[in-house]
């Protein structure tokens, strides 16, 4: 698995016995909530087969994400609106916590590398949120593309992390254009939207924690990261900025689309970190005009 390694993890403060005890209580509650959600998820999957109702499963997923972010000491703030049409959101990737933070903000499903499914903890979380796992094998490319097309066609909104790795949360790495190729498929270029979003984490200013505290990179472990979160994360904030959606056909190539999304996500991240007014990056005029026409048609 490719991992960003261009900086050393920050040194974190030590905690006294009371704080460590409270941390284990938080971890126990998180494990209990996850186990309960997993059971309800399996029950919902079983019941939806004969009744064809997905709303229960989606409610379980969203509910778990809200509980998880709360137990991990994060308040989720949303700026902008998730798109209403089918398609995918393209997000920067900071940590495994991105999954509950984004899912608490919008009803999306994730696309992740197959290696994630085998990771202790993170793999199980990805599974109960109906993540699509993809392999980097050419032999599997066609089948995986068809699965993504099927999910998009049935109305799922997918969340893709085009950086290909997690980071310290203070930067956005260039998005890999290969992950945008599917949106130039004839079946999607006209119908589906691509919406860049910026995910930003900020520790409580009074905590004294470094700005990159919520990042996850290098040789950090999942278990160690959860322990640090449970003992040190209090009153933190996760901001999700939804920029205007775009469409593949409004760009000359997947490289140009990837560059637009990279720039939009980077602008949103740095605006939040710098304390500037956050203005979601707009889409090309042609796409916005068509969205307005579509909304006007629906209202009549």
pLDDT digits (tens, 9 = 90+) for 256-283: 999 999 999 999 999 999 999 988 887 7
CA separation (Å) from 39 to 33, 46, 49, 117? 10, 11, 16, 18
pLDDT: is 153 or 296 the higher one?
A: 153
Mean pLDDT calculated for residue range 207-232: 92
Q: How confident is the model at residue 298 (pLDDT cuts 50, 70, 90)?
A: low
pLDDT confidence of residue 120:
65
CB-count burial class (<10 Å; 0-12, 13-18, 19+) for 250 = middle
Across 38-47, 247-256, 290-299, least confident range: 290-299
Starting at the edge strand that comes first in sequence, how are the strands of the sheet with 132-134 ordered? 74-79, 236-242, 193-202, 87-91, 157-160, 109-113, 132-134
CA separation (Å) from 94 to 3, 16, 121? 11, 28, 17
> Cα(20)–Cα(13) distance, rounded to whole angstroms?
12
Residue position matching structure tokens 């997918």: 158
Mean pLDDT calculated for residue range 50-76: 86
Element (DSSP H or E) covering residue 35: helix 17-51
Mean pLDDT calculated for residue range 228-246: 95
> Cα(149)–Cα(167) distance, rounded to whole angstroms?
29
* Reduced DSSP (H G I as helix, E B as strand, rest coil) percent helix, strand, coil of the chain, to 5: 50, 15, 35
pLDDT confidence of residue 189:
54
Nearest Cα to Cα of residue 180 among 127, 250, 85, 122: 250
Q: How confident is the model at residue 137 (pLDDT cuts 50, 70, 90)?
A: low
Q: Is 265 helix (H, G, I), strand (E, B) or coil?
A: helix
Give the length of the chain. 300
pLDDT confidence of residue 100:
93
Q: 246: which DSSP letter? A: B
Mean pLDDT calculated for residue range 44-64: 79
Q: Taking all residues of the chain, what is their mean pLDDT, rounded to a whole number?
A: 85
Beta bridge partners of 79: 241
The terminus-to-terminus CA distance of the chain in angstroms comes to: 51
Cβ atoms within 10 Å, residue 87: 23
pTM of the model: 0.87
pLDDT > 90 fraction of the chain, expressed in percent and rounded: 48
Secondary-structure class of domain 17-299 per CATH: alpha beta
pLDDT: is 296 or 226 the higher one?
A: 226
pLDDT confidence of residue 53:
64
> Cα(236)–Cα(20) distance, rounded to whole angstroms?
18
pLDDT > 70 fraction of the chain, expressed in percent and rounded: 84
Cβ atoms within 10 Å, residue 135: 13
Return the domain boundaries, the chain.
17-299
pLDDT confidence of residue 79:
95
Mean pLDDT calculated for residue range 26-39: 92
pLDDT confidence of residue 236:
97
Nearest Cα to Cα of residue 217 among 5, 1, 73, 37: 5
């Amino acid at each position: 698995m490719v991992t960003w390694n261009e900086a050393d993890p920050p040194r974190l403060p030590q905690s006294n016995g009371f704080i460590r005890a409270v941390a284990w209580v938080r971890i126990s509650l998180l494990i209990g909530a996850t186990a309960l959600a997993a059971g309800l998820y399996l029950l919902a999957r079983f019941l939806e087969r004969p009744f064809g109702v997905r709303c229960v499963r989606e409610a379980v997923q969203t509910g778990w994400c809200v509980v998880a972010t709360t137990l991990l000491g994060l308040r989720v703030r949303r700026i902008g609106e998730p798109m209403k049409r089918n398609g995918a959101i393209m997000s920067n990737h900071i940590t495994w916590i991105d999954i509950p933070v984004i899912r608490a903000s919008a009803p999306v499903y994730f696309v992740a590398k197959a290696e994630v499914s085998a990771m202790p903890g993170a793999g199980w979380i990805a599974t109960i949120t109906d993540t699509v796992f993809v392999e980097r094998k050419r032999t599997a490319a066609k089948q995986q593309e068809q699965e993504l097309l099927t999910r998009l066609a049935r109305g799922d909104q997918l969340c893709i992390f085009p950086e290909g790795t997690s980071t310290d949360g203070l930067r956005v790495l260039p998005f890999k254009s290969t992950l945008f190729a599917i949106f130039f498929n004839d079946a999607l270029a006209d119908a589906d939207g691509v919406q860049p979003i910026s995910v930003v984490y900020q520790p409580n200013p009074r905590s004294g924690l470094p700005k990159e505290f919520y990042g996850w990179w290098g040789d950090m472990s999942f278990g160690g990261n959860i322990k640090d979160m449970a003992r040190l994360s209090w009153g933190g904030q996760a901001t999700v900025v939804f920029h205007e959606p775009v469409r593949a056909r409004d760009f000359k190539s997947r490289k140009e689309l990837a560059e637009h999304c990279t720039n939009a996500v980077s602008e949103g991240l740095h605006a939040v970190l710098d304390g500037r007014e956050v203005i979601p990056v707009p889409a090309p005029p042609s796409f916005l005009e068509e969205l307005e026409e579509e909304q006007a048609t629906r209202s009549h």
